[in-house]
């Protein structure tokens, strides 16, 4: 659980002393438990103040330091993800997924479809500021097929982030989508894209719930049929991610990817205090094992003290929910 009381400057100084001792190699002066506690128990505001205090006392930007070494250091990667602003983190994930080598569709879907629309708007603004480019245009340039239209529509929908969920409107949109899928020989892709681009993620979830209520099955099952083609398969992936993000993350964690450790770290850190318990449940339903066990399998076999801290933080964040 995040600390709920106001920590005094002296307490922040103690946290900074622990981190400075660790990063300076003076690990004999501190315990694993002290390091773990900082990244499990401090909320985002506390971590900001720790960064400020660290800079004051040691003349170094702590976030920049861990950023420089995070590529081959799992603990530094966790520390970075815990301290960086979420919208800055996600803008980085987007540009790396688009231009970091091979296209990483799964991460693009993860960010676009599991973040609230208000956060998507911040991500787009940060992307524009940091990389002097437009995220929607870059997606259009780098992605082909249905995913291009679908993901751009989801990003555009964030303009309506302040709108409250309207169940009457959701019912109307559910009927519109049903007609788009059922009325002709081919599905009406333009109408589907139009709905996705005009409704924020919260409203889309209400539409999907209304669709099941009206027609007795989820929309994702309707788009599996042959007449929906490749567009239907790609739409299904996006819809399922919006509707059931915990299942999307659990599936990513079950896949044998070269970047499996990165996916595990990023999922636990970014979804802690959001839906990590649901992800853990979905993962256990499919595998018969828990995320805690997965963390131990990935990082617990080494005698490396750094890995002991990694295990402690990740397990702590999972248990803390």
Q: Does 234 show up as a binding residue in the annotation? A: no
**What is residue 276's predicted lDDT score, i.e. its pLDDT?**
97
The per-residue pLDDT for range 120-149, each reduced to its tens digit, is 999 999 999 999 999 999 999 999 999 999
CATH code assigned at 78: 1.10.220.10
The per-residue pLDDT for range 162-196, each reduced to its tens digit, is 778 999 999 999 999 999 998 888 899 999 999 99
**179 domain residue, yes or no:** yes
Residue 314 has pLDDT above 80, yes or no: yes
Q: Within a 10 A sphere around the Cβ of 66, how many other Cβ atoms?
A: 22
**What is residue 258's predicted lDDT score, i.e. its pLDDT?**
75
Task: Give the total number of structural domains in the chain.
Answer: 3
Q: Does 23 show up as a binding residue in the annotation? A: yes
Tell me the pLDDT of the chain averaged across its residues. 92
Contact 210, 202 (CB under 8 A): no
Q: Which domain holds residue 32?
A: 10-83
Q: Which range (260-269, 285-294, 302-311) has the least confidence?
A: 302-311
**232 domain residue, yes or no:** yes
Q: Does 85 show up as a binding residue in the annotation? A: no
Confidence grade of residue 4 (pLDDT, cut at 50, 70, 90): very low
Q: Does 298 show up as a binding residue in the annotation? A: yes
**149 domain residue, yes or no:** no
The per-residue pLDDT for range 25-62, each reduced to its tens digit, is 887 778 999 999 999 999 999 999 999 999 999 999 99
Measure the CA–CA gap between 92 and 90, rounded to whole angstroms.
Answer: 5
**What is residue 1's predicted lDDT score, i.e. its pLDDT?**
46
**177 domain residue, yes or no:** yes
**135 domain residue, yes or no:** no
315/160: higher pLDDT: 315
User: What pTM was estimated for this model as a whole?
Assistant: 0.92
The per-residue pLDDT for range 203-217, each reduced to its tens digit, is 999 999 999 999 999
**What is residue 76's predicted lDDT score, i.e. its pLDDT?**
95
Contact 234, 272 (CB under 8 A): no
Q: Where does a domain end: 243, 268, 302?
A: 243
Quick one: 228 and 288 in the same domain?
A: no
Q: Where does a domain end: 206, 225, 243?
A: 243
φ, ψ of residue 96 to 5 degrees: the values are -70, -35
Quick one: 264 and 234 in the same domain?
A: no
Measure the CA–CA gap between 304 and 313, rounded to whole angstroms.
Answer: 15
Q: Does 25 show up as a binding residue in the annotation? A: yes
């Amino acid at each position: 659980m995040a600390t709920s009381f106001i920590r005094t400057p002296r307490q922040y100084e103690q946290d900074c002393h622990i981190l400075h001792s660790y990063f300076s190699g003076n690990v004999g002066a501190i315990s694993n438990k002290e390091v773990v506690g900082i990244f499990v128990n401090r909320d985002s505001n506390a971590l900001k103040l720790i960064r400020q205090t660290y800079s004051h006392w040691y003349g170094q930007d702590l976030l920049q330091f861990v950023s420089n070494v995070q590529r081959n250091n799992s603990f530094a990667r966790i520390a970075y993800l815990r301290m960086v602003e979420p919208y800055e983190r996600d803008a980085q994930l987007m540009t790396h997924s688009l231009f970091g080598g091979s296209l990483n569709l799964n991460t693009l879907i993860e960010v676009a479809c599991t973040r609230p629309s208000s956060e998507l708007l911040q991500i787009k603004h940060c992307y524009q500021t940091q990389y002097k480019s437009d995220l929607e245009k870059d997606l259009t340039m780098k992605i082909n097929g249905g995913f291009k239209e679908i993901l751009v529509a989801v990003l555009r929908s964030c303009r309506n982030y302040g709108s409250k969920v309207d169940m009457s409107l959701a019912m109307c949109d559910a009927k519109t989508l049903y007609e788009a899928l059922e009325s002709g020989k081919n599905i009406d892709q333009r109408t589907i894209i139009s709905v996705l681009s005009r409704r924020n993620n919260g409203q889309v979830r209400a539409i999907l719930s209304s669709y099941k209520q009206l027609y007795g099955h989820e929309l994702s099952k309707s788009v599996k049929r042959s007449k929906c083609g490749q567009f239907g398969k790609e739409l299904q992936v996006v819809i399922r991610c919006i509707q059931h993000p915990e299942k999307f993350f659990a599936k990513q964690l079950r896949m044998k990817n070269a970047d499996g450790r990165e996916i595990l770290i990023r999922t636990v850190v970014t979804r802690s205090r959001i839906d990590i318990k649901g992800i853990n449940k979905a993962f256990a339903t499919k595998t018969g094992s828990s995320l805690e066990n997965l963390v131990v399998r990935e990082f617990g076999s080494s005698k490396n003290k750094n890995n002991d801290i990694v295990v402690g933080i990740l397990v702590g964040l999972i248990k803390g929910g």
